[in-house]
Amino acid sequence: MRSLVTLTGDGTFRAPTAQETQRLGLPEDPHLAALMRVRALLGDDPEEQIATRLYLPSALGLDETDHLLPATLALLAETTGDLVSYGWRLGTGTGLAWQHAREMRERMLDAARIALLGYRGPLMTTALGPATLAGATFLQSGERTLGDPGAVRDLPMLLAEGLVEHLGLVADRVPGAQQHVLLREDAVAAIHAGRIPTPSGRRRYPAVPAPEIGMLWRILMVALEEFGLGPDAVTVGVGADLELLRAARDAGIRRLAIAPRRLPSLSTDAGRALWEGIAEACDDGAVLELVVDPRPGGNLGPELETMLETWRRLGHSDADAAGVAVIAHTGASHEVHAGRADPSAQPDASTLLDEAALEALLRIAPSWAERLAS
């Protein structure tokens, strides 16, 4: 039976505190403890028509190298670099911070062998997408990677090669895994709109046309498909822009991660055009994955309600939205999306999901599924 809704997280999970580790009887190793808790929450479908998508946490927030940006950089094939005063720099030689980020990824893979012993089901790997990487990293010259078209063109292939190698290691550790990839493009809207500052801060990098961003996505999608991951096994964050939506569809992306909070109102011309584009994509077989904040005060209920209300105003029924996925997220990327936060900035632990956030998502899922079944 087709699931009405699938629940998952954004690829992060704050490492349990010492008190939580003791209270829950968890091992002292933070990677193993975190993965055991994620499996306890998302390792089994809670109801017949509610599915879950387990994920390997890419960031636990243990230190400055334990966040999604360095975790993604550690995946890049044949690439070295280090953490310097102004951010993560790609270049000659592997610095200590870069090496440590790789070690953190390896520790999570080792934890997966133990925590996911005997597991059979979906298992998601999360990374930043190539557009966001271009805006969040720097070159030896001190310029952002975004300022070098050649370096930008290299990123999707380097990421694809690294992801394929990583997915092979995941398959070795967890043979029963049905692999899925989430590519978070937190800064794609800011890059497309020309809101990324140069190192001096006195100007902005030129806006990158949507077709050029779509070509980066297409390179990735082709490489992952050659590995065996088709469009149904790859989710990409596509921002809240009609041109980016069309570029994603042209790139062969079927699963579109969209944050309802960022979508313009249907009462505006831009909003109606975007919503109609979303509806058209769904009619053509695309699947929506809604990025929401499930924590108390995160407005999960109102966000989903607004989504369904707009859906109905476009002539669809609630049941037409069945099959969506809901991705728990703290909302930390909204400021980056709007260009108010630098994608290269170091996040703090409060931006990561925790157990309470995933529990809140699980609590609201039955009422959401009931709406989609009507």
Annotate 226-248 with three-state secondary structure. HHCCCHHHEEEECCCCHHHHHHH
pLDDT band at 298 (very low <50, low <70, confident <90, very high): low
- Give the Cα separation of 294 and 300 in Å (integer): 5
* Cβ atoms of 243 and 275 closer than 8 Å: no
User: Is 24 or 236 the better-scoring residue by pLDDT?
Assistant: 236
Q: pLDDT at residue 127 above 70? A: yes
Structure-token pair, residue 288: 């929506």
Q: pLDDT at residue 263 above 80? A: yes
Q: pLDDT at residue 152 above 90? A: yes
pLDDT, residue 206, reads 96
pLDDT, residue 367, reads 84
Give the mean pLDDT of the chain: 92
pLDDT, residue 303, reads 76
User: Is 185 or 364 the better-scoring residue by pLDDT?
Assistant: 185
pLDDT band at 326 (very low <50, low <70, confident <90, very high): very high
pLDDT, residue 205, reads 96
Match 């960022």 to its residue by tokens. Answer: 262
Query: Is 91 in a helix, a strand, or coil?
Result: coil
Question: In this predicted model, what pLDDT tens digit does every residue of 211-255 receive, in sequence order?
Answer: 999 999 999 999 999 989 999 999 999 988 999 999 999 999 999
pLDDT, residue 290, reads 93
Match 């911070």 to its residue by tokens. Answer: 97
- State the architecture of 5-373 in CATH terms: Alpha-Beta Barrel (3.20)
Q: pLDDT at residue 46 above 90? A: no
Domain ranges of the chain: 5-373
- Give the Cα separation of 247 and 238 in Å (integer): 9
Q: Could you tell me what percentage of the chain is helix, strand and coil, using 3-state DSSP and rounding each to the nearest 5?
A: 50, 15, 35
- Give the Cα separation of 196 and 193 in Å (integer): 8
List of residues 6+ apart from 158 with CB closer than 8 A: 76, 77, 78, 79
